[in-house]
Amino acid sequence: MTYDLVVIGSGPGGYVCAIRAAQLGMKVAVVEKRETFGGTCLNIGCIPSKALLHASELFEEAGHTFEKMGIRLGAPKLDLPGMMKFKDEGVDGNVKGIAFLFKKNKIDAFQGTGKILAPGQVEVRAAEAKAQTIETKAIVIATGSDVARLNGIDIDEKRIVSSTGALSLDKVPQRLLVVGAGVIGLELGSVWRRLGSQVLVVEFLDRILPGIDAEVGKQFQRLLERQGMTFKLSSKLAAVDTSGKKLKAKIEPVSGGAAEMVEADVVLVAIGRVPCTEGLGLEAAGVKRDNRGRVVVDRHFASSVPGIYAIGDVIAGPMLAHKAEDEGVAVAEILAGQAGHVNYDVIPNVVYTFPEIASVGKSEEELKEAGIAYRAGKFPFSANGRAKVNLTPEGFVKILADAGTDRVLGVHIVGADAGNMIAEAAVAMEFGASSEDIARTCHAHPTLSEAVKEAALAVDKRSIHM
């Protein structure tokens, strides 16, 4: 039989694309080389990291804030195998959910490594079975990304780990050296700091979280430092000596100068991710890639070869699960003759630490660079009743609105539950809201989201509680 669509990869891009295509009446197959579905996100990314962030945050709260609220439990004790089991069960439930959705939508799943033989032909090779070829009208590449490595530093996933190993350490490292102050490094660094590690973060650039609004980044670094994390900015890991019981990491200033040796029990390399295209047969098929190895696509996710499309981490854009999902829906709808599209101006970005960081739209630096005149309204959580009573007064909401039209161009939040609050800003921006629209929308009291309304009022210098 010939499928309408074969999707290679079952991450959030691939599985969502397959489901949407099946809903639209297509006969769909998915090829996945991992034993379980759900890709990086469900198996070794978003889901397990959030399970550990949630559990470790409660562990820290139990030790620090419970007593202030009149709850006496004694010092909490860590049961690391128990916490890992909790995380693994969460992953298991999620990946089984995808298998259920495939069945429900009559999607055929092929377990094995997919390779494009030609447009319309995908070879699937499972470890021991003979390769088989599936015929299809269209192919969507959704093979995602893999850990970026540092030259000369071997990741053994025991002492020198990537995010994957850092999600499954069997004991709390006394000293954890995190290389890279991006989202993954700061999230996993936070997990292990809460569980008892001394965490040092080494970052090549002179700031943490590159790409995030600079004011947010600065305040966030101060908050992390107050929690006990330390930072070495404008520095790089040059080598790790693994011969002794302790690792000895050589850290060099980026601008040159004397190196410093730092001892660690575990080194986490979190310097980014690279597109996963090896063995896919792209070169032979004539599928073009850019200078970073990503599949080049047009506005309709079509590659340079007719009938072959690509979405998610394997193409340009933010490496985020929800971006991959939206592209999956869009390409399925385009294949069905509809007008699927993704609004790249409104893709929220969240860092799930404590406090959380969430943003959508443009940063102040981006607006300045583009020469766009804007007005900024800011409101601190220390003036929000609910944040005060919850003992979470850290952070602020900042809204950036066009100086002429008042249209909201960017929203940035540092604070507890920022990741949930940013959804309001995304909806407002998707509908082209002005800051006045947000300011005149009734927000429930007492909620943290009242700070969003107050920041909108502050754009026009009329916030009430400041």
Ligand X SMILES: Cc1cc2nc3c(=O)[nH]c(=O)nc-3n(C[C@H](O)[C@H](O)[C@H](O)COP(=O)(O)OP(=O)(O)OC[C@H]3O[C@@H](n4cnc5c(N)ncnc54)[C@H](O)[C@@H]3O)c2cc1C
Rule CB under 6 A: say whether 53 interacts with ligand X.
no
Q: Which is nearer to ligand X, 277 or 392 (CB)?
A: 277
Q: Which stretch in 85-93, 137-145, 148-156, 241-249 sits in contact with ligand X by CB under 6 A?
A: 137-145
Half-sphere exposure of 292 (CA within 13 A, CB side): 14
Rule CB under 6 A: say whether 11 interacts with ligand X.
yes
Q: Which residue has the tokens 């019981």?
A: 245
Rule CB under 6 A: say whether 90 interacts with ligand X.
no
Using the rule CB under 6 A, which residue among 56, 94, 136, 145 binds ligand X?
A: 145
Q: Please tell me the distance from the alpha carbon of residue 29 to that of residue 93, in angstroms, as a whole number.
A: 22
Residues in the chain: 466
Rule CB under 6 A: say whether 342 interacts with ligand X.
no
356 beta partners: 415
Rule CB under 6 A: say whether 269 interacts with ligand X.
no
Q: Which is nearer to ligand X, 241 or 278 (CB)?
A: 278
Rule CB under 6 A: say whether 189 interacts with ligand X.
no
- Both tokens of 241, joined, read 């000596």
Q: Please tell me the distance from the alpha carbon of residue 336 to that of residue 317, in angstroms, as a whole number.
A: 24
Three-state SS across 256-318? CCCCEEEEECEEEECCCEEECCCCCCHHHHCCCECCCCCECCCCCCECCCCCEEECHHHCCCC
Q: Do 177 and 249 form a contact (C-beta atoms < 8 A)? A: yes
Count each helix (H run) and each strand (E run) in the chain, helices first. 14, 22
Number of Cβ within 10 Å of residue 295's Cβ equals 25
Rule CB under 6 A: say whether 353 interacts with ligand X.
no
CB of 313 to ligand X, least distance (A): 4
Q: Which is nearer to ligand X, 124 or 438 (CB)?
A: 124
Q: Which is nearer to ligand X, 61 or 123 (CB)?
A: 123
275-281-285-291 Cα dihedral, nearest 10 degrees: 30
Rule CB under 6 A: say whether 359 interacts with ligand X.
no
Q: Which residues ranging from 293 to 332 are in contact with ligand X (CB under 6 A)?
A: 312-314, 319-322, 324
266 beta partners: 176
| C-alpha dihedral sign at 369, 374, 380, 385 | negative
Q: Please tell me the distance from the alpha carbon of residue 296 to that of residue 290, in angstroms, as a whole number.
A: 6
Q: Which stretch in 26-34, 90-98, 406-414, 421-429 sits in contact with ligand X by CB under 6 A?
A: 26-34
CB of 460 to ligand X, least distance (A): 33
Instruction: Give 244's contacts (C-beta < 8 A, 6+ positions apart).
Output: none
Using the rule CB under 6 A, which residue among 34, 96, 232, 250 binds ligand X?
A: 34
Rule CB under 6 A: say whether 280 interacts with ligand X.
yes
Using the rule CB under 6 A, which residue among 14, 90, 189, 217 binds ligand X?
A: 14
Q: Do 22 and 107 form a contact (C-beta atoms < 8 A)? A: yes
Rule CB under 6 A: say whether 415 interacts with ligand X.
no
Q: Please tell me the distance from the alpha carbon of residue 454 to that of residue 53, in angstroms, as a whole number.
A: 29
CB of 148 to ligand X, least distance (A): 11
Rule CB under 6 A: say whether 173 interacts with ligand X.
no
CB of 273 to ligand X, least distance (A): 7
Q: Which is nearer to ligand X, 268 or 459 (CB)?
A: 268
Residue 424, phi then psi, degrees to nearest 5 = -60, -45
54 is catalytic: no
Q: Which is nearer to ligand X, 8 or 358 (CB)?
A: 8
Q: Which stretch in 12-20, 85-93, 150-158, 286-294 sits in contact with ligand X by CB under 6 A?
A: 12-20
CB of 250 to ligand X, least distance (A): 26
Check 64, 300, 445, 465 and give the catalytic one.
Answer: 445
CB of 285 to ligand X, least distance (A): 13
- Both tokens of 391, joined, read 């003992």
Size of residue set near ligand X by CB under 6 A: 37
Using the rule CB under 6 A, which residue among 6, 39, 380, 428 binds ligand X?
A: 39
Q: Which residue has the tokens 């099946």?
A: 22
Rule CB under 6 A: say whether 356 interacts with ligand X.
no
Rule CB under 6 A: say whether 185 interacts with ligand X.
no
**What CA–CA distances, in Å, run from 290 to 18, 126, 213, 245, 300?**
26, 29, 27, 42, 17
Rule CB under 6 A: say whether 271 interacts with ligand X.
no
Q: Which is nearer to ligand X, 321 or 376 (CB)?
A: 321
Using the rule CB under 6 A, which residue among 267, 276, 302, 425 binds ligand X?
A: 276
In 3D space, the residue among 207, 201, 210 whose CA is nearest the CA of residue 267 turns out to be: 201
Q: Is 98 exposed, middle or buried (0-12, 13-18, 19+ CB in 10 A)?
A: buried
Using the rule CB under 6 A, which residue among 6, 21, 114, 303 binds ligand X?
A: 114
Q: Which is nearer to ligand X, 14 or 361 (CB)?
A: 14
Catalytic residues: 445
Query: Binding residues for ligand X, per CB under 6 A?
Result: 8-14, 31-34, 39-41, 45-46, 49, 113-114, 142-145, 163, 184, 276, 279-280, 312-314, 319-322, 324, 352
